[in-house]
Structure 1
């Protein structure tokens, strides 16, 4: 299998493989993530990418997405059981759409004049500079907000944090790194554009530590929570994202990392390019459409719906066979509320799509229409089961 797999992978990297060869490659990788031959080959290929000319690993064709979508049902590991006894209900409430596949019968939307109207999250974050100065970005006017290590830091009209390199900094190749840290609260999100051209979207209740300018062998950042990365290509300076449980190394690619402390699984989802995920001696190499899942010491790879992984970045909630507890954790982060259950949640799984731009009161109406009731007391969301 080694020679055939190597040929398939090389043709995929070069963009010369046929649709049938591409499908065969993805099937082999998905079915044999722990095979020594496979991991050895991918490791060798990764090293070649680091030492030779960067191959065109990004911008996969639409056909690739079609193939991934066709195969995911047979590859993605299913969790729990599926008490789907009724057809999908399609509900539109102020532009939101939600699909629930459950055993509950939809009921009429009850009136709730006392519901607390908690708005959705917005662009909110605090920036801590290397000298300890703290800037509340949502209360800061657009334009230049600081200069540091030859870098101009500015806030754009649409709420982005941009690092512009100056002519003086362009001539520097060494020096101590000046680290900045951006933190989003619950109910906040923010976009950061680094001076190397990398763009990072930070989800709610997350933080990112990074140097104002990269000048070492690696472009290294540290993440807690969740972020989507569009990494600028630089074959001589790998981009490394470190969390408390793993490291992800790339050269130039698009991917999402979900590494919240209250989630039992750390997920890395690849949309374009190639990444290496490492944790406690284990390594996995991802192709577009794949997701690594780190649970404890187990690091596995699956084919997934990438749109689900980045729905938050595109302004949506999107769940595929998700349990109620995981759904409520996302609502908690985005609406800045605490969640409690009157009794232990059931094992029912839901398929859920809704806009992140609606208020919590409107979200409550959608849930109640589908037989899931909760009440809002101050900033406490109490789920009634």
Structure 2
């Protein structure tokens, strides 16, 4: 079999997650040498299909077994990022000097960290609070359960004064809260949600969000659930959706997984414009133009953070590093004029920053960690 035909089959087997351990090692080495670039780019543009007869012939020769990992590539520099390649990268690609540098300067992954601010201004560290009831106000008990989640429970009926709480996650933090109506909210890093401790006698269930959160709203057709951000308002009756409203991104993105929501603009020349989303759709409000656009959502990419991993799919370096900055609590310093690489692949959010950087460096960029600074060079 000629090299080109072999390379084509190897790439096709990688795409279909069929490589053996030995083939995976060979795949990484050939990628590092640049011998698979054309075949990977062809495969990414759906031009690298392998005939069934060729594939069956190769399978018979190698007696293959299936492994689970994802195709990865870059527009200018090929980058391989895959859960299945971590141990290989750590032991075979990264040189000892680089490992020793990262051993001295590293950042731990984020975790369940948040601060609860009560209506009277009292701040409670949910990171340090023991399980059990941590506060009671306006007829509502606030409890931290054994899973580390915050739960609001009405313990006194009757009309009570409306009190508002705020839960804030720092960079390097995330948290889950069960609101008084039973709605579940997952907060990503550097985010906050403000809400009333009880929705009794209210005309709606309105909360305010900064940053990113995933919602599973308790159904109540008589009491619509409303999420307000700086640029938009999202109204729902019972559904699953994600809102990304970080100030350092280019737009606010609302992604619907289940049910129906209405997205309305709160500012700009198109103020008042509203659109309904169907499951699998995403509303995007651009910060500069204030235009509201609806398109098909990449659910895997949107929900990756909530499921515990980073999912890059054509993301540029700046987009990738914004996510790392929030999760690892580091400030990014760029010491390169430009970088037009695009990254694709999955990385668990449970690994140290150095593990992520080792893999990103395979694409040609270089990093140095100095305290809370992540310095990027080419």
Normalised-by-shorter TM-score class: 0.7 to 0.9
Q: Work out whether 1:227 is the aligned partner of 2:213.
A: yes
The structure whose RCO (Cα within 8 Å, separation 6+) is larger is 1
- Give the whole-Å Cα distance in 2 for the aligned partners of 1:261 and 1:98: 31
Question: For 2:252, which of 250, 266, 289 is the aligned residue?
Answer: 266
Instruction: Tell which structure's C-alpha radius of gyration is larger.
Output: 2
**TM-score w.r.t. structure 1 length?**
0.73
What secondary structure does 1:344 align onto?
coil
Structure 1: 5+ residue stretches without partners: 1-83, 90-94
SS at match of 1:195: coil
Match of 1:99 in 2: 72
For residues 161-205 of structure 1, give each alpha carbon's deviation from its aligned partner in whole angstroms, at most 9, with x where no partner exists. 111121x22xx2x44310000000000000000121100000000
TM-score by length of 2: 0.74
Number of paired residues?
293
**Given that residues 96 and 354 in structure 1 are in contact (C-alpha distance below 8 angstroms), is that contact kept between their aligned partners in structure 2?**
no
Q: Map 1:1-385; keep pairs closer than 5 Å.
A: 87=40, 99-104=72-77, 108-111=93-96, 112=98, 113-115=100-102, 116-166=105-155, 168-169=156-157, 172=158, 174-215=159-200, 216-279=202-265, 280-295=271-286, 296-385=289-378
Q: 2:345 & 2:375 partners in 1: Cα distance?
A: 19
How far apart are the structure 2 equivalents of 1:289 and 1:346?
A: 31
User: Does the 8 Å CA contact 2:217/2:240 hold for their aligned counterparts?
Assistant: yes
Contact 1:127 1:182 (C-alpha < 8 Å) held by counterparts: yes
Question: Are the counterparts in 2 of residues 210 and 221 from structure 1 also a CA contact under 8 Å?
Answer: yes
For the residues of structure 1 that align with 2:71 and 2:95, how far apart are their CA atoms?
Answer: 17
CA distance in 1, matches of 2:128, 2:249: 31
Kindly report the root-mean-square deviation, in angstroms, between the aligned alpha carbons of the 2 structures.
2.0
- C-alpha distance in 2 between matches for 1:136 and 1:336: 18
Compute the displacement of 1:360 (Å): 0.4
SS at match of 1:268: strand
C-alpha distance 102-109 of structure 1, shift in aligned 2 (>3 A): farther
Structure 2: gaps of 5 or more residues: 1-36, 44-67, 80-88, 266-270
Corresponding residue for 1:67? none
Looking at structure 2, the residues matched to 158 and 236 of structure 1 have their Cα atoms a distance apart, in angstroms, of 31
